[in-house]
């Protein structure tokens, strides 16, 4: 591939080679995985807590444990030698009324995607996180290209950083052949995009499928859609130890995309756990967190404990708010009254798909009894409540009889 010239004539050949390479790399990772139970290894099984989860990824001795201590107040072992942290250490960061779980993971090395240095377990934890914070040593970045190495390791195992899933619909079929269509011109798949797509599917032994492209995608994006095991994560980069380099080098690193420079030791852009700083604000922004205050009819809004929604998890709509509070509220939802930035006027009557913004006040109005009776599922719902009531009553009677016999 490196020796092949890149032009329209060779685009079809390069696309086929990329598909073969992705397939062989995926088979190699599965083979090295051992085909076990697939569960997390000892020391890396951490329960999901809080409103979001952030994983700290980086090479050894870049200051991840000290950074987690500054963010969460969790005491993690930190020393001057490499591989101080050997397991996953969780902590909770409190910021703007939200609780963000921060995972301090062991340092990874080049070749971690293929299992070196427990890299497989570390990357599996990062795959389950809502966002990734990559910690880099500013003094070593200029010579060692740590950022490029880490991006390559994560991309090898199917983690796409700061990308969104392609707007492509792909459905496998048992018969019927390949049906390819697009709503926009495809300029990145060569002169014959359909031939390119069919050849890539043939590499994965797919002979019948429907594929609809709604955007101009590349060969790599098409391979990701066909493979189907890719995850898309927001990622930000923190260059630590900037007190060891010159101001010109700091300026160069600060201009890198998705990056923030600072020093944990000198407290540049990093404060104490209960202080606001630039790094916490950056994590909040990349997680897409939104604070929503709820309000009962005729009462003041509850400003003490907001409901925190995440754009990475369920979204920031009224639907996500109802799912976060109660499934019964979602079932009986009628409309919502919204005050705040997302409302055109205060209050605004909104539907369930209305997007919310930070610090909005929402009042959920449920259906009346007459509206619930008109629902086509009303009889099944009443029957379910009745069955649950009689079952609970029978269990209580049986328990009482058991006590009398004893």
Query: What CATH number does residue 322 fall under?
Result: 3.10.20.30
CB 23 within 8 A of CB 203: yes
Is pLDDT above 80 for 96?
yes
Task: Return the pLDDT at 38.
Answer: 44
For all residues of the chain together, what is the average pLDDT? 84
Task: Return the pLDDT at 39.
Answer: 47
Q: How crowded is residue 275: how many other Cβ atoms within 10 Å of its Cβ?
A: 11
| pLDDT average, residue stretch 249-263 | 92
Task: Return the pLDDT at 171.
Answer: 92
Q: How crowded is residue 14: how many other Cβ atoms within 10 Å of its Cβ?
A: 17
Q: Looking at 191, 210, 229, which one is the last position of a domain?
A: 229
Domain region containing 86: 52-163+232-285
Residues 386 and 335 in one domain: no
pTM of the model: 0.78
Domain count of the fold of the chain: 4
List of E strands, 183-320: 209-213, 231-233, 235-240, 259-261, 289-294, 307-310
Confidence of residue 85 (pLDDT cuts 50, 70, 90): low
Residues 60 and 158 in one domain: yes
Residues 203 and 345 in one domain: no
Is pLDDT above 80 for 382?
yes
Is pLDDT above 80 for 344?
yes
When mean pLDDT is compared across 29-33, 147-151, 371-375, the lowest value belongs to 29-33
Which has more confidence, 75 or 201? 201
Backbone φ/ψ region at 12: left (φ over 0), alpha (ψ -120 to 50), beta: alpha
CB 136 within 8 A of CB 86: no
Supply the CATH number for residue 154's domain: 3.40.50.300
15-22 long-range contacts (CB < 8 A, ≥24 apart) are: 15/189, 15/190, 15/196, 15/199, 15/200, 15/219, 15/222, 16/199, 16/200, 16/203, 18/219, 18/220, 18/223, 19/199, 19/200, 19/203, 19/204, 19/219, 19/223, 20/203, 22/223, 22/227
Within a domain: 137: yes
Which has more confidence, 119 or 130? 130
Is pLDDT above 90 for 331?
no
| pLDDT average, residue stretch 96-105 | 88
Within a domain: 319: yes
Task: Return the pLDDT at 283.
Answer: 92
Residues 308 and 182 in one domain: no
Rounded Cα distance between 165 and 225, Å, is 8
Q: Looking at 229, 247, 276, which one is the last position of a domain?
A: 229
Is pLDDT above 70 for 15?
yes
Residues 82 and 129 in one domain: yes
Q: Looking at 240, 255, 285, which one is the last position of a domain?
A: 285
């Amino acid at each position: 591939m490196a020796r092949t010239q890149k032009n329209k004539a060779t685009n079809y050949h390069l696309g086929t080679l990329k598909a073969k390479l992705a397939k062989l790399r995926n088979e190699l990772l599965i083979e090295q995985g051992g085909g076990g139970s697939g569960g997390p290894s000892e020391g890396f099984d951490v329960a999901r807590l809080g409103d979001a989860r952030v994983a700290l990824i980086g090479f050894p001795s870049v200051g991840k444990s000290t950074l987690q201590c500054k963010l969460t107040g969790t005491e993690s072992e930190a020393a001057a030698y490499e591989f101080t942290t050997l397991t996953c250490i969780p902590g909770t960061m409190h910021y703007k009324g939200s609780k963000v779980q921060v995972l301090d993971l062991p340092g990874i090395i080049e070749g971690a995607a293929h299992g070196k240095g427990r890299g497989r377990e570390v990357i599996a934890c990062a795959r389950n996180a809502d966002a990734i914070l990559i910690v880099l040593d500013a003094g070593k970045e200029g010579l060692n290209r740590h950022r490029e190495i880490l991006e390559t390791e994560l991309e090898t195992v199917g983690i796409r950083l700061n990308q969104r899933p392609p707007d492509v619909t792909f459905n496998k079929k048992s018969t019927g052949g390949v049906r390819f269509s697009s709503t926009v011109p495809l300029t990145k798949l060569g002169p014959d995009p359909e031939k390119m797509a069919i050849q890539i599917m043939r590499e994965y032994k797919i002979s019948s499928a429907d594929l609809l492209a709604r955007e101009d995608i590349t060969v790599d994006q098409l391979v990701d859609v066909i493979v189907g095991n890719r995850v898309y994560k927001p990622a930000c980069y923190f260059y630590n130890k900037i007190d060891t380099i010159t101001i010109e080098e700091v300026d160069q690193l600060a201009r890198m995309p998705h990056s923030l420079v600072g020093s944990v030791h000198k407290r540049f852009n990093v404060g104490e756990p209960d202080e606001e700083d630039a790094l916490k604000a950056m994590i909040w922004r990349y997680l897409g967190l939104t604070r929503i205050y709820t309000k009962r009819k005729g009462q003041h809004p509850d400003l003490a404990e907001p409901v925190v929604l995440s754009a990475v998890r369920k979204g920031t709509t009224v639907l996500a708010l109802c799912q976060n509070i109660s499934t019964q509220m979602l079932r009986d939802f009628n409309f919502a009254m919204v005050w705040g930035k997302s409302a055109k006027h205060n209050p605004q009557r909104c539907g369930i798909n209305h997007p919310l913004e930070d610090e909005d006040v929402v009042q959920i109005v449920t259906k009346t009894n007459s509206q619930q009776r008109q629902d086509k599922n009303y009889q099944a719902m009443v029957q379910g409540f009745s069955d649950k009531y009689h079952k609970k009553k029978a269990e209580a009677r049986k328990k009482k009889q058991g006590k009398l016999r004893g």
